[in-house]
Structure 1
Amino acid sequence: MPYQLPLPDVPLPLQLRQLDHERMGRYRDNLAFYQGRHWTGRGRRGERRLTFNYARAIVDKVTGYLLAGAAVQVVGDDSPAGIERARAAEQALRRVEAANGLSQLDFETELDCAILGDGAYRVAWDAAAGEVRVTAPDVQGLFAWREPADPARLTAVAHRYRAGDEELVEWWSAETFELWRGSELADRVPNPYGFIPYVIFPNLREPKEAWGASDLPPVMEANRELNRAFSQLSQVLELSGNPIAVLEGVTGSEDITVEPGAIWEVPEDARAYLLDLLQGGGVALHTAYIDLLYRVIHDLGESPRTAFGHNPQGLSGVALNMELDPIARKVERKRRIRTAVYERRAWMVLQLLARFTGLEVEGLRPVMQWGPVLPADRSRQVQDARALVEAGIISRRTAAATLGIDDPELERAFVREEAG
């Protein structure tokens, strides 16, 4: 549900406390489940509660596939001057990536986004250090105002966070920046950047919803049932290892112990025996049910067991790719969202470098490049890229970027230098 604009007579921090309780509760529940808090309520006395966190394994696995081969390329016109500007901008972008450790930051942010359902980046100028600072604020402290006809377009962002014992709130619109300390307005100035320096994005989109969906809800119930099934089977095996003595026609049970060499004295018409909980294939029923739950978890999580190294048939090539197709499709859905996210972030970086360092960015635009989701034959990739270049379908720079070369122009310069 879209927010109303802040009320002028009520401090902004007080207004934020009335917003998004449902979203914040969802974040807390998802995070708790990822951390292994699967059981609800108080268990019965002596109840065994095992936790096998397959949900976490699936989230980690999908995130690992997502960022494989990710890189931003800067493109411009085909003139020599345009190519040189694009190369200089791309090198500046690489320096910002290295200075901010974006490789690690991106993985952590994508993991957090998959758990909570939403992620965010902030791009700002650090005047003291004289460089662009890219951070990933906690979405639990972000509130977004959006265009009614286009929820992906932000009109304002409030960012609440703590600095020591003090609560701070930043308010950003395209025209204004405000800083609140507690419930007091500490500063209000024109926006120094000319744009809202946040990229807020969903993990996966839900129709007609501005905020995203976590990877966890589809597998939560199956994971809870798997925990219950394992706990039950564990209890059965323990009782079978310490068998229950059953006495029929006996009024007392003193001195009845189950141990090697034990002798029981029972009345003539009484009957004594050990209860066998494993008779009739009981364990097989449990294990068959657990295998069924495995399948449910992997199907709903779109992460086949093959992605975890389970390949008893020795599949390879096209057959292996077909087996892994569900996780590839899920990653592709995420990449469609992330392409706009990382291009927007790179655009912000270039705009700040242009404003504060004089970098020429006129006519340039960032383009996101992704590596293959599934393992690929490197020699086949090279052959395909060469064929596309020779056919005039893609440029040499694009082909090089697709093959994982960060600076194609610099690499071509090395080739020319070696050729003499």
Structure 2
Amino acid sequence: MPYQQLPLPDPPLPALLRQLDFDRMARYRECLDFYQGRHWPGRPRRGERRLTFNYARAVVDKVTGYLLAGASVQVAGDETPAGLERARRAERALRRVEAANGVSQLDFETELDCAVLGDGAYRVAWDAAAGEVRITAPDVQGIFAWRDPADPNRLTAVAHRYRAGEEELIEYWTPGGFELWRGSTLEERLPNPYGFIPYVVFPNVREPKQAWGSSDIPPLMEANRELNRAFSQLSQVLELSGNPIAVLEGVTGSEDITVEPGAIWEVPEDARAYLLDLLQGGGVALHTAYIDLLYRVLHDLGESPRTAFGHNPQGLSGVALNTELDPIARKVERKRRIRTAVYERRAWMVLQLLARFEGLEVEGLRPVMQWGPVLPADRSRQVQDARQLVESGIISRRTAAASLGIDDPEAEAARVREEAG
């Protein structure tokens, strides 16, 4: 797309961004606060006990761990020997970029952030000083996106606001142009050096007819808050039961009345003294039954059965265990449908930059996302199934290796040949 010199926006871009997405930013702050353990509103009353058990964070971390299991991007080309060789070279180059940028750790941190806030972003750019591709995950709270009304998945412009020291910088990208704002001053306006917007902006889970995604946190908020209240109440009851309240009836004074082993009380003949038993009538059992009910609600709303946290008193295995874990598997599959396009697009950007700045041949090549199994699987059975598919000509050895969680099938195959030779 040819670069067109556009007039400055009115109001200028920095002022315009300050007027956008108030509701989205408020949702981000609320979800982030809850994830970080700020569950109680306002200041505590005098003597009020507030226990916080951050189950929302535990559920988000658990689902993210399942999401990224066995994730890798392969490069596919045509089936000619030359096409396969170009695909292998491109894949090796992609692995080099991933290793240089610590992509495994970056992806986990970004997915956590995306699950909490509801949206995520990657930036893929060429670092001229270092002579390499740089993959980063900008804070989505500083990302503003404009989309094609006919296709919300297609970005027409992206503004990225961030701080560098004491200064606020804004990068504004369109397919044809690039602007850099320093504070409220336009410092640079250039043609886009890449030919594409170097950002991938994506939702955690899609909301129908909505451009931005939804967080994993809101469904858990009320149940987690009620669980905190229930635990706090039970804790206070148990503390008071361990330090019982002395009840005196028909007594006008209470000097020298202490609750301790061997204590003797002198009270009038018609008076009555006793210790208040807060545990009588099965009170604790009612509290624990309610807490167990809240546990169930929390795990149901989070689509994360307690079995996913190691709670398996029935010793389930095989199909029975997979059925028990099916809710978390379905949740992960919904996210993976979105992430497949995200990681393939990011890999495509990396290959395009390598082609432009290093001369890598990428014509006819396409990134293909590979995912490992969500649920625990019989490794020997997986190997047997993959072998049968390869021998039947249904899949290639590279695809089989990728399905078994091998990040770099070509390098692994070379090591096998080396050991055999």
TM-score (structure 1 length as normaliser): 0.97
Larger displacement relative to structure 2 (265-274 or 208-217): 265-274
Give, in whole Å, the separation in 1 of the partners of 2:276 and 2:301. Answer: 39
Structure 2 match to 1:217: 218
Structure 2 match to 1:47: 48
- Deviation of the 1:248 alpha carbon: 1.3
Runs of 4+ in 1 over 6 A off after TM superposition: none
1:10 partner SS: coil
Structure 1 match to 2:124: 123
- Deviation of the 1:386 alpha carbon: 1.6
Asked if 1:294 corresponds to 2:298, the answer is: no
Structure 2 match to 1:321: 322
Q: Which amino acid aligns with 2:229?
A: R
Q: Which amino acid aligns with 2:241?
A: S
Give, in whole Å, the separation in 1 of the partners of 2:7 and 2:183. Answer: 16
**Cα gap change, 1:179/1:86 in structure 2, threshold over 3 Å: closer, same or farther?**
same
- Deviation of the 1:377 alpha carbon: 1.0
Structure 1 match to 2:305: 304
- Deviation of the 1:8 alpha carbon: 2.1
- Whether contact under 8 Å (1:6, 1:15) holds in the other structure is no
Give, in whole Å, the separation in 1 of the partners of 2:326 and 2:298. Answer: 16
Structure 2 match to 1:339: 340
Give, in whole Å, the separation in 2 of the partners of 1:417 and 1:254. Answer: 90
Structure 2 match to 1:241: 242
Structure 2 match to 1:150: 151
Structure 2 match to 1:285: 286
Q: Which amino acid aligns with 1:327?
A: I
2:393 partner SS: coil
- Deviation of the 1:417 alpha carbon: 4.4
1:200 partner SS: strand
Structure 2 match to 1:66: 67
Structure 2 match to 1:38: 39
- Whether contact under 8 Å (1:343, 1:368) holds in the other structure is yes
Give, in whole Å, the separation in 2 of the partners of 1:12 and 1:90. Answer: 39
Give, in whole Å, the separation in 2 of the partners of 1:382 and 1:132. Answer: 35
2:159 partner SS: strand
Gaps of 5+ in 1: none
Gaps of 5+ in 2: 1-5
2:207 partner SS: coil
Q: 1:63-112, CA deviations, whole angstroms, 9 ceiling, x for partnerless residues?
A: 11111100000000000100000000000000000000001000000011
- Whether contact under 8 Å (1:119, 1:201) holds in the other structure is yes
Output aligned runs, 1:125-204, within 5 Å. Answer: 125-204=126-205
- Whether contact under 8 Å (1:71, 1:370) holds in the other structure is yes
Larger displacement relative to structure 2 (190-199 or 374-383): 374-383
1:398 partner SS: helix
- How many equivalent residue pairs? 416
Give, in whole Å, the separation in 2 of the partners of 1:239 and 1:414. Answer: 67
Give, in whole Å, the separation in 2 of the partners of 1:59 and 1:409. Answer: 34
Give, in whole Å, the separation in 2 of the partners of 1:151 and 1:6. Answer: 25
1:68 partner SS: coil
- Deviation of the 1:347 alpha carbon: 0.1
Q: 1:245-294, CA deviations, whole angstroms, 9 ceiling, x for partnerless residues?
A: 11112222222211122222222221111100000111011011111111
Q: 1:19-76, CA deviations, whole angstroms, 9 ceiling, x for partnerless residues?
A: 1111111111111101100000222210100000011011111111111100000000
Q: Which amino acid aligns with 1:294?
A: Y
- Deviation of the 1:242 alpha carbon: 0.6
Give, in whole Å, the separation in 2 of the partners of 1:405 and 1:170. Answer: 37
- Deviation of the 1:308 alpha carbon: 0.7
Q: Which amino acid aligns with 1:280?
A: G
**Cα gap change, 1:6/1:288 in structure 2, threshold over 3 Å: closer, same or farther?**
farther
TM-score (structure 2 length as normaliser): 0.97
The percentage of aligned residue pairs carrying the same residue is: 88
Structure 2 match to 1:108: 109
Give, in whole Å, the separation in 1 of the partners of 2:374 and 2:263. Answer: 63
Q: 1:214-261, CA deviations, whole angstroms, 9 ceiling, x for partnerless residues?
A: 111111100000000000000000000111111112222222211122
Q: 1:344-397, CA deviations, whole angstroms, 9 ceiling, x for partnerless residues?
A: 000000000000000000000000000001111111111111222233322222
Give, in whole Å, the separation in 1 of the partners of 2:261 and 2:7. Answer: 78
- Whether contact under 8 Å (1:125, 1:132) holds in the other structure is yes
Larger displacement relative to structure 2 (401-410 or 96-105): 401-410
Please provide the CA RMSD for this pair. 1.3
Structure 1 match to 2:3: none
Output aligned runs, 1:13-32, within 5 Å. Answer: 13-32=14-33
**Cα gap change, 1:332/1:194 in structure 2, threshold over 3 Å: closer, same or farther?**
same
Give, in whole Å, the separation in 1 of the partners of 2:348 and 2:357. Answer: 14
